[in-house]
Amino acid sequence: MLTAHWLYGLSGCLIMALGLRAVLLNDSLLQRIIALNVMGTGVFMILITIAYRGPDATPDPIPHALVLTGIVVAVSATALALTLIRRLTEEQDSD
Amino acid sequence: MIDILIWLVALPLAGALAALLLPRYATAIVISTAIATSISAAALLYAVATHGVMLYEIGGWPAGLGIALRADGLAALLLTMSALVLLASSIYAGAYFRENLLRSRFWPLWLLLWTALNALLLSGDLFNLYVTLELLGLSAVALASLAGKTAAMQAALRYLLVGLLGSMLFLAGVTLIYAGYGTLDMATLSRVVAAGPIAWSALALMTVGLLLKTALFPLHFWLPPAHASAPAPVSAVLSALVVKATFYLVMRLWLDIFSEVVIPQVASLLGILGAAAVLWGSWQALRAERLKLLAAYSTVAQLGYLFLFFPLLQALPAGAARDAAMGGLVILALSHGLAKSGLFLAIGIIQQRSGHDTIRDLDGTAQRLPATTFAIALSGTALIGLPPSGAFLGKWHLLSAAFSAGQWLWIIVIMIGTLLAAAYTFRVLGHAFGQQPYPRHPVTIAIEEWPALILTAFATIGLGLAGAPVWQLLKVSL
Amino acid sequence: MNFDTWLPLLVVVSSLLPGLVMFFLDEGSHRLRTVLNMSGALIKLVLVGIITWGVFHQHIYETRWTLAPGLELVLHADTLSVLFVILSTVLWLVTTVYAIAYLEKSPHRSRFFGFFSICVSATVGLALAGNLLTFVLFYELLTLSTYPLVAHRGSPEALRGARTYLAYTLTGGVLLFTGTVWLYSIAGPISFVEGGTLNQLHADYHPQLRVIFLLMITGLGVKAALVPLHGWLPQAMVAPAPVSALLHAVAVVKAGAFGIIRVVYDVYGVEFTHELGLLTGLGIIAAITIIYGSVKALSQDNLKKRLAYSTVSQVSYIALGIAILGPVGTIGGIVHLVHQGVMKITLFFTAGNYAETLGIHKVSEMDGVGLRMPATTLAFSVGALGMIGIPPVAGYVSKWYLALGSLEAGMAWWVMPVLVTSSLLNAAYFLPILYRAWFKQPVTEWPNEKILPARFETQTALLWPPLITAALAVAAGLFAASPYSPLEWANLIARREYGL
């Protein structure tokens, strides 16, 4: 059980790191937005892992609330980003 | 009285929704909301001065489970400054945006930004900070991209990416904090956080995220294009308030929550980056060809000054000298906020009148708009740090702290930075003296010029002569 | 909150408020502008009169205002401030009259008089400053308010001159500011106390005090035109004549010299400065400036530039007086503050008259001008004679006291040659002008003559100011022994400084 706990946490960190790397090194805007989402997923995984309080206790609800809020925020941000990218390509095409 | 905290968040939010639903009356709604929110901010300032720290637990849930809104002296001061800037800029924006379509898109986003700003300054909970930080960033980006041209879009997208990256890092830090201490309440955390790997990593993550958003050298690359291509009122708010809000968070983290954890070497690192920002930003401002670019680089430099305080605050023991330095930091931040917003508003007037903001071709316009040029002169006084201005007092305390702590490097940086700021300011002002015909009336476009004049007057005469209450208010702290 | 606490502030505000109002006046409102200007000047005169009487009878006039913790704005009237304030107020009144006439039909007059008034407020403010912070504050305000005056004409030369002026004075300001903050961080808030307060500090601080002194004197020396910081002064001659008159007789250069007096006498204390070995250095720089200024003046054909270099030289007499240890030398230096002001303003007024009425800008164009403009040239001659040091014009009084003081202090072996040489040089560049003006045949056509309907040689408002100031210069010299002369007042200051 403990090993699974640590595994989840570590994978969360790994995903976050991969996402970070992609944001910094990639050139395409779309890929960077996706990479940011991946990064976010990594952080959410860590949060979920933290919620575990042992085999007998109920999980901590607060990190769950944080993850839900975080997902909403990430979705809105991605929506804005995608709209802007679309408008930018339109502007550049009409130039 | 305690409800004021909720009013400060609810009023602009309600206004934003109303402006969205009733675009025909949007301008009237916005101006009345702005006035109401400003009055609330002033009331909060008064309440904090007389009753001490204000606390409000949303929904009655106690802190730890629920979200608390807290206002101390620092928050109240920043709130009041924001309200003043946003009120003046709202009046200005009403006249600035000629097309109705643009204006009806602008107002809801504008009030959303105000909501986010107020909520951020009042947050007593780390995760709430994350949410408001994101909201602030998103509305700022949306506002910056309103102009619609390619350059503006690209700059806005870069701003968005950087902002999202910063918030993500911030969230990672918050996660670590929760993992280590089991609470997100800021007041509780400032009591329990102790030095250790969790605290260090969390602080590092959160700081890097915030530094990205505050545009500290060398993470400042996104700021000049974004601030320079946004519409004038938006640039004013971006430079004066949005970056200040993230800086405020760095202050809260370093001086409040993590004060036990910070070591002198890391504080010095912040100082060195700040020094680099001062020199690089001022140099680039001197070389800038456009007024807005000059103002944007000036923001980079001025933020650098704020970061110079960190190693000094770290080195000084708690006492009168440290309190004096703290006040210097805050008054410098307030002064910059007022002066920079006034500057951007004035530049906006020039840009609209002459169709461009190239410095070399400024002659005719600058001389035909004496009130605007006077606003730029007042703003320049506050940016250079000449008396009378809040910045003069702030720089005095900065230098004084440097002398007391024996950290000589900053002194040289401040002296050079001041001279460079003088150089780029007077480079612009030199164009105000020429041989073009002088208009009969000094104030030509009252509704646009008066907000700029009032903001810059507050930065110079207001804070410069009546700035003592800032120190008294800062004593009311969490 | 009685009258005594408000009085110093009122003196400053009496010109500040009209100035701020004038910015918002329409260009065409001449009458209102004149009313504002003159009423401000007259009110100030009355207030200053009250203060003078009070200070003579040992009243305390002090305004205090806290800007920040440890930073208090203090306006305090003592004998030295009263001297400078009277000089500024009287000369401002006269210059205002002159300027209104000189700038008739000029553009940008609202802006000009607005900054003009702020400039005088700044000068009076730093005269009344009761501590270093207040002094520095008004010193910088002076820089800011004089820049637009120098750049007023808007021509490329004016802008260049103004840029140079700014570069020099702002750099000086930063140095002064840094020195002041340093001093505050060592010794706490520094008030101006007769005799100075720094000698009470521990000897460990002495090296720092030396560096601070250097920083502050350099910062002040820019405005006081000490060599090699004087470069801006000849360049700033592009300003209109009223500006050159005010800047060079009253506001800027005197502010620098006044600052040096304050630092040496009321911050460090003259004996302590001597102990630190700094007084001699100051004296040497003063001597070099005196000689250098006069030498450069010889080679200038442009009249205002010649007068500019003469100013460079003459203001350092004040510094020399400070450097001479002992009350007599002090008296010589301080009284020259007044004498040089009155004489120099006369010279600049007359130079302005020549330029305005006849288009004369160069010495070589001045042949026979005494016949054409006798009253103006009479005033010019009075000023010139005073500069050389010929009685009864006031200049000789200062030189006499400087010489006497150097004898008493045992410094005569180098001060006397400097005084003699500089007087000879003064004669060398002023007497030829007088000869040309009075004794040479006038040219057939002046460079740019304005035909005036009036009976007098030029407008009345341009004629009276130089005649009045010339008369004052003669009176100060003739009645130097009377109890109301500048000399007596300088005597009073020196007595209080040395505790006699």
Residue for token pair 């000059």: B294
Query: What sign results for the dihedral spanned by CA atoms B53, B56, B60, B63?
Result: negative
Tell me the C-alpha to C-alpha distance, in Å, between residue B466 and each of B390, C49, C72, C343.
Answer: 9, 30, 12, 41
Per-residue pLDDT at C176 exceeds 60: yes
The domain segmentation of chain A, as residue ranges, is: 4-94
pLDDT tens-place string over residues C113-132:
999 999 999 999 999 999 99
The answer to whether B128 and B67 have CB atoms below 8 angstroms apart is: yes
pLDDT tens-place string over residues B170-229:
999 999 999 999 888 888 888 888 888 999 999 999 999 999 999 998 999 999 999 999
**Contact criterion met (CB < 8 Å) for C68 and B418:** no
The answer to whether B431 and B366 have CB atoms below 8 angstroms apart is: yes
Residue type, B357: D
Whole-angstrom Cα distance, residue B422 to residue C330?
A: 37
H or E, element range at C201: none
Whole-angstrom Cα distance, residue C234 to residue C248?
A: 11
Give the residue on B whose Cα is nearest the Cα of A94: B150
Cα angle for residues B71, B73, B76 (degrees, 5° grid):
60
Supply the mean pLDDT for chain C. 88
Does the A4-94 domain belong in CATH 1.20.1070?
no
Assigned domain for B424 exists: yes
- Residue C153: list chain B partners with CB under 8 A: 435
Assigned domain for B286 exists: yes
The answer to whether C347 and C380 have CB atoms below 8 angstroms apart is: yes
The two tokens of residue B478 are 């969490």
pLDDT of residue A1: 53
**Count of CB atoms situated within 10 Å of the CB of B283:** 17
C62-68 and C71-76 as β-strands: parallel, antiparallel, unpaired? antiparallel
Tell me the C-alpha to C-alpha distance, in Å, between residue B70 and each of B178, B210, B246, B323.
Answer: 20, 21, 17, 21
Whole-angstrom Cα distance, residue A47 to residue B239?
A: 34
Assigned domain for B113 exists: no
The answer to whether C477 and C386 have CB atoms below 8 angstroms apart is: yes
Query: What sign results for the dihedral spanned by CA atoms C337, C342, C344, C348?
Result: positive
Instruction: With cut-offs at 50, 70 and 90, classify the pLDDT of residue A6.
Output: confident
pLDDT of residue B478: 61
Per-residue pLDDT at C1 exceeds 60: no
E-only strand ranges, C39-122:
62-68, 71-76
Closest alpha carbon to B347 in B366, B363, B367, B368: B366
The answer to whether A61 and B119 have CB atoms below 8 angstroms apart is: no
In angstroms, the separation between the Cα of residue B182 and the nearest Cα of chain A is: 10
Per-residue pLDDT at B141 exceeds 60: yes
Q: Which residue out of B362, B403, B419, B471 would a mutagenesis test of the C interface target, given it has the greatest number of C Cβ atoms within 10 Å?
A: B403
Whole-angstrom Cα distance, residue C93 to residue C112?
A: 16
pLDDT of residue C454: 63
Provide the domain limits for residue B469: 277-478
3-class state of residue C394 by DSSP: coil
Domain count of the fold of chain B: 1
B404 touches chain C (CB under 8 A): yes
Whole-angstrom Cα distance, residue C402 to residue C290?
A: 13
CA dihedral A55, A61, A65, A70 (to 10 degrees): -30
Residue for token pair 């409800």: B3
Per-residue pLDDT at C460 exceeds 70: yes
H or E, element range at C262: none
For residue B69, the cross-strand partners are B56, B123
Helices H, strands E: what count in chain A?
Answer: 3, 0
Residue type, A4: A
Cα angle for residues C86, C471, C402 (degrees, 5° grid):
65
**Contact criterion met (CB < 8 Å) for B415 and C181:** no
pLDDT of residue C214: 93
The two tokens of residue C285 are 């720089």
Q: Is B419 exposed, middle or buried (0-12, 13-18, 19+ CB in 10 A)?
A: middle
Max mean pLDDT among B233-242, B347-356, C187-196 falls in B233-242
ipTM of the predicted structure? 0.94
Assigned domain for B207 exists: no
Closest alpha carbon to C237 in C304, C168, C177: C304
| B-C C-beta contacts closer than 8 Å | 103
The answer to whether B235 and B343 have CB atoms below 8 angstroms apart is: no
**Contact criterion met (CB < 8 Å) for B134 and A16:** no
pLDDT tens-place string over residues B386-434:
988 999 999 999 999 999 988 889 999 999 999 999 999 999 988 888 7
Q: Which residue has the higher pLDDT, B355 or C405?
A: C405
pLDDT tens-place string over residues B68-126:
889 999 999 999 999 999 999 999 998 888 776 777 889 999 999 999 999 999 998 89
pLDDT of residue B155: 92
pLDDT of residue B434: 76
Whole-angstrom Cα distance, residue C268 to residue C280?
A: 15
The two tokens of residue C232 are 């801006």
Q: Which residue out of B139, B153, B158, B219 would a mutagenesis test of the A interface target, given it has the greatest number of A Cβ atoms within 10 Å?
A: B153
Per-residue pLDDT at B258 exceeds 60: yes
